Structure 1
Amino acid sequence: MKLTKLKTALAAGALTLASGSAVVAQDLRIAYTGYSTDNTFWIGVANAAAAEAEAQDVEFIDMTASSPDSAAQRDAVDRAIDMGVDGIIIGSVDNRAFDASLEAAAAKGIPVVAVDTGIDHPHVSSLVQTDNLAAAGIAGDYIVDQIDGGKVLILGGSAGHQTGNARRDGVLNAAEAAGHEVIFQICDWQDACAFETTTNFLQSDPEITAIFSAWDPGALAAVSAAKALGRLDDLVIVGFDGNPANLVAIAEGEQSATIKQDNTRMGTESVRNLLAVINGEEAPAVVPIDGILITADNVAEYQ
């Protein structure tokens, strides 16, 4: 009789614990702020993150601004902290903008995970990103293989941006190792700057034979500028992201190549890592994701 009662009590306790765990899971709220909602790559990250949160029965609050705005993003993080969310995912516009916000999150015990771009702060538990240096190295090797002499123009992101710097360095290292002069221009991830920079340098320097843009829309801007100047057939133009419009440009022979990022995995892994930290489990400090070179030879596989 006592044994039967003990078993019953244990079973009831287990049921209570299981029910309690379910309630906790359903009550979890995580905030997400990505680079912008007007960027194809980041739309993919957000959609994957939202889908994973839904699969985990967790409320997902997307606080991403419509355009890249570091001040608005910092304000979003601060609002999320004031709301008392259980965790925050940041795909930063400016990875240097969050020190005070992260101190506030740490004080309230709200864990933070970074996606795509590292944030140098001890409270950031995990970073999920493309191995940008290695992936850009692949792009650089491709460029070197395609050109016979000449200079390489690199259209970069913003100054001091960890992701942009890694993409710059991967191509720069490969090109300089092969003896090519490299011209680097900061464009703050702005397509208009990519167009204007490409136009100016192609007009002033006929030795440019290749252009690398650290983001795919910038590569399309370079394509447009080169086409307007009648230089498109003379250039190797490579981007980074694997956006659908760029795949079309590759298939049509206008853009030479791009590096595809697995934005679906990035969004999914960032949610999983954040939930692990919230639950007191270990999450990897860095999750490096391989990039894939897409050219005319394999573009059909990704369209």
Structure 2
Amino acid sequence: MKLKHLKGMVATLAVTTVMAGAALAEDLRIAYTGYSTDNTFWIGVAKAAAAKADEMGIELIDLTASSPDAAAQKDAVDRAINMGVDGIIIGSVDNRAFDASLDNAKRKGIPVVAVDTGIDHEHVASLVQTDNLAAAGIAGDYIVDQIEGGTVLILGGSAGHQTGNARRDGVKTAAEAAGHEVIFQICDWQDACAYETTVNFLQSNSDITAIFSAWDPGALAAVSAATELGKLDDLVIVGFDGNPANLVSIEAGEQSATIKQDNTRMGAEAVTNLVGLIKGESVPAFTPIDGILITSDNVADFK
């Protein structure tokens, strides 16, 4: 009888523990604010984060603005804090915009995870990100292997943006080490700027043999500009993200290559790390995710 009683107590305790864990998960509310809802890459991050939260029985509140807007994103973070969420994931438009908000989150004990772009604040306990410098280095090596000489034009993100700077530096280092001149132009992640910059430099500088865009839509803009000028066949054009439209362009022999980011893993890992922080667990301060070079040789594997 005592043995049966003991077994019953153990079973009851196990069920209680499982139920308590489930209740904890179900009671959690986390907020997510990404770069925008009109960007293919970020749509993928948001979907993956929502799917992981659903799998874990957690409520995820998506406060992402429809277009990139640093002020609106800061307001979203402030709203999340005022709502009393248990944690926040930020895929920042401007990683310098959150100091006061993050000070407030720290005071209220709301943990924060950054995804894709690092945020320089002591309260951001975890960053989930493509290893941008290493991945861009792969892109740079590919470019160097494809051209015999000439100048490399880099279409960049916004000034001071951690992700954009890493992508610039990876390509720039590889190209300069091989003896190529590099021209860098800030484009604020804007496709129109990528197009106009490409047109202007191709018309004024006949030495350009390769173009690297720090984001894939910018690479498509460069393809369009080069096509209109009749110079596409003379250029190597490489992007970064692995967006579906760019894979079509690579398959068609227009864009030369791209670096694929695993946005599905990024969204899922961000949620996992945030929940770990909420529960007081130890999580990695940095979760690096490898980039993958996609060219005409392997593009079919990713479509």
Pairwise TM-score range, normalised by the shorter structure: over 0.9
Q: Distance in 1 between matches of 2:179 and 2:269?
A: 39
1:175: how far off? 0.4
Matched, 1:182 2:182: yes
Partner of 1:168: 168
Partner of 1:213: 213
Q: Distance in 1 between matches of 2:164 and 2:90?
A: 16
Q: Percent identity?
A: 79
**Matching of residues 1-303 of structure 1 within 5 Å:** 8=8, 11-303=11-303
* TM value normalised by structure 1: 0.97
Q: Distance in 2 between matches of 1:57 and 1:258?
A: 35
Q: Distance in 1 between matches of 2:92 and 2:22?
A: 32
SS in 1 for 2:246: helix
Q: What CA deviation, in whole Å up to 9, does each residue of 1:229-261 have, x standing for no partner?
A: 111111000000000000000000110000000
Unaligned regions of 5+ residues in structure 2, if any? Answer: none
1:20: how far off? 2.5
Amino acid at match of 1:133: L
Q: What CA deviation, in whole Å up to 9, does each residue of 1:62-115 have, x standing for no partner?
A: 110000000000000000000011110000000000111111111111100000
Q: Distance in 2 between matches of 1:249 and 1:21?
A: 47
Q: Distance in 1 between matches of 2:278 and 2:300?
A: 41
1:56: how far off? 0.3
Q: Distance in 1 between matches of 2:167 and 2:75?
A: 28
1:25: how far off? 1.1
* TM value normalised by structure 2: 0.97
Q: Distance in 2 between matches of 1:212 and 1:63?
A: 31
Amino acid at match of 1:62: D
1:24: how far off? 1.6
Amino acid at match of 1:77: V
Unaligned regions of 5+ residues in structure 1, if any? Answer: none
Give the total of aligned pairs.
Answer: 303
Q: 1:4 to 1:301 in 2, by over 3 A?
A: closer
1:2: how far off? 7.1
Q: Distance in 2 between matches of 1:141 and 1:14?
A: 55
Q: Distance in 2 between matches of 1:179 and 1:294?
A: 25
SS in 1 for 2:221: helix
Q: What CA deviation, in whole Å up to 9, does each residue of 1:172-213 have, x standing for no partner?
A: 000000000000000000000000000000010011010000
